[in-house]
Amino acid sequence: MKKLSPKQQAFVDAYAGNGTEAARIAGYKGNENTLCSMGKENLRKPHIWAAIQARNAGKKASTIATREERQQFWTSFVRDEELDPSARLRASELLGKSQCDFIEKKEIMGKDGAPLSIVAALLDEIDGATRGIDNND
């Protein structure tokens, strides 16, 4: 990978989702438009983007529980007989949802049970688009 300049490394270190702010913190000079352009330019450079991704990979790995870790956590609650049964039941429900053991179905209706206006508009558009099509082929 291409070596980062000190200013590019400062940009990588400062980047937290806002390229303009990272450019400002890293010491790039100019007005808001110039800093915005520098931030965008830096984010388009593959070696800078790779350095940001590598930096973030370490942070995410240590701060966000994986699916397996969450399932192990909930399983420990389910199996702990000293816990309140309602806590164990809730953990069981969350564990089941995480493993897609059941599906929640929600029906959304408009006022007085009518279809939502966007749904009605889409249905009208589909109906208009299919008019004149011979379905007897």
> Helix or strand or coil: residue 68?
helix
Contact by Cβ (8 Å): 74, 97: no
CB atoms within 10 A of CB 24: 19
Structure token pair of residue 21: 């702010």
d(CA 23, CA 7): 9
Beta strands in 18-135 (DSSP E): none
Name all domains of the chain by residue range, CATH numbers in brackets.
Answer: 6-63 (1.10.10.1400), 67-98 (no CATH)
Of 103, 104, 98, the closest CA to residue 71 belongs to 98
pLDDT-based confidence at residue 12 (cuts at 50, 70, 90)? very high
The pLDDT, as a whole number, for residue 134 is: 59
User: What's the distance, Cα to Cα, between the start and end of the chain in Å?
Assistant: 59
Q: What is the pLDDT of residues 65-79, one digit of tens each?
A: 788 888 899 999 999
The pLDDT, as a whole number, for residue 97 is: 85
d(CA 59, CA 50): 14
Q: What is the pLDDT of residues 79-127, one digit of tens each?
A: 999 999 999 999 999 988 888 888 777 777 777 877 667 766 677 778 7
